[in-house]
Every structure is written in structure tokens, then in C-alpha cells.
Amino acid sequence: NNSFDEECDYLFKAVLIGDSAVGKSNLLSRFAKDEFCLDSKPTIGVEFAYRSIRVGDKIIKAQIWDTAGQERRLVVCDITRRPTFESLQKWLKELREFGSPEMVVVLVGNKSDLAQSREVNLEDGQRLAQLEQVSFMETSAKENLNVEEAFLQMINRIYEITC
Ligand code: GDP
Ligand code: MG
């Protein structure tokens, strides 16, 4: 049950950012509703979803925005399109300029199911993450690979820092 007034100990807000069509909306719908859409329309306006998770003995409600916002955290690229990976650096630079110093950022290389069209190696992502001192994961919203892990990694790190 993820209803709005469900009891929770903390409310975390997080945002997905990245170039268009890298899979942000589908990562969110996979995590929040276990849904995937092969021909999803570009996001218009603001969409968000809730999901409550347990960390230790606490219930944390994650409110995740599928748009640009003030607290930006899950930065997504499409491993089959190199330019979306190059954009990660631009997104990170913007985050560092406008974000708070204790901001948690997780880099995500989405569409790992499309291995045959890969233009970004796992090592590229890992190297950038190490350089920027953030974590990196490859996901597939389609095959539901690592989606849960990427969101939980982010939520757990926010928990460590703020609680
Ligand atoms: P957004 O613009 O970043 O929100 O991207 P969307 O979530 O709308 O996804 C853009 C397109 O990529 C859609 O056609 C999705 O079905 C597709 N897509 C999203 N995630 C994946 C994935 O993990 N694997 C594959 N093969 N396609 C995906
Ligand atoms: Mg979208």
C-alpha cells in the first residue's frame, strides 16, 4: 500500500534527470508500479510517484519526480546512445553548481537489455562514477534488471546522510 497518508518515518524526495528517451519514466514506473511501456510518450509537465520501503526498522516514503527539480539525484543515460553518456558530465556539473554538498547522486546506464547496440561500456560508467565519487549501476527498465537496486542504493545513501 503506497497511499499518500500511509504512516512513514521519513519522506525523501528524489528526481530522475538525463537526456530525453533514456528511460527515466519507465525506470520510475517499473520501481513504483512494476510497469513498463514500450512506446511511452515524452513526459509532459510534472509526474511523480511514491513508494514506501523499509530501511532497518524505519519506513521511508520515497517521492520520486520524473522531471528536473531542486533535489536531483538519479542521473540516467542510455547505454545504446553515446551522446547521452557524454551528457552525464553536463548534468553532474549542473548538480555540483546548484546542489547541496551532501547531495546523493547515482548514475544509471539504462537499457542494459540492448547489449547488441551498446555504445557505452560498463567500464566507462564505472570510471566516470569513480572520478565524480558517485555510484554507478546499469539497469533495464524493460527486463526489470537492477531497477530496484538503483533506487534502493539512492534511498539508502540519503538515509545514511540525513538520518
Ligand atoms: P524518458 O524520456 O527518459 O522518460 O524515457 P522513457 O521512459 O519515455 O523511455 C523512452 C523509450 O525507451 C521508450 O520507448 C521506452 O519503452 C524505452 N525504454 C525505456 N527503458 C528501457 C529499457 O530498459 N530497455 C529498452 N529496450 N527500452 C527502454
Ligand atoms: Mg519521461
Of all residues in the chain, what percent are helix, strand and coil, respectively (each to 5)? 35, 25, 40
Q: Please name the residue whose Cα sits nearest to atom 16 of ligand 1.
A: 38
What is the grid cell recorded at 160? 545514511
CB 109 within 8 A of CB 84: no
pTM, rounded to two decimals: 0.84
Residues with CB under 6 A from ligand 1: 20-26, 37-40, 42-43, 110-111, 113-114, 140-142
CA–centroid distance, residue 42 to ligand 2 (Å): 5
143 Cα nearest atom in ligand 1: 23
How confident is residue 68, by pLDDT bands cut at 50, 70 and 90? very low
The pLDDT tens digits for 104-142 are: 889 999 999 999 999 999 999 999 999 988 899 999 999
> Cα(first)–Cα(last) distance of the chain, in Å?
24
What single DSSP character describes residue 142?
T
Query: Stretch 59-78: mean pLDDT, rounded?
Result: 75
Q: Interface pTM (ipTM) of the complex? A: 0.98
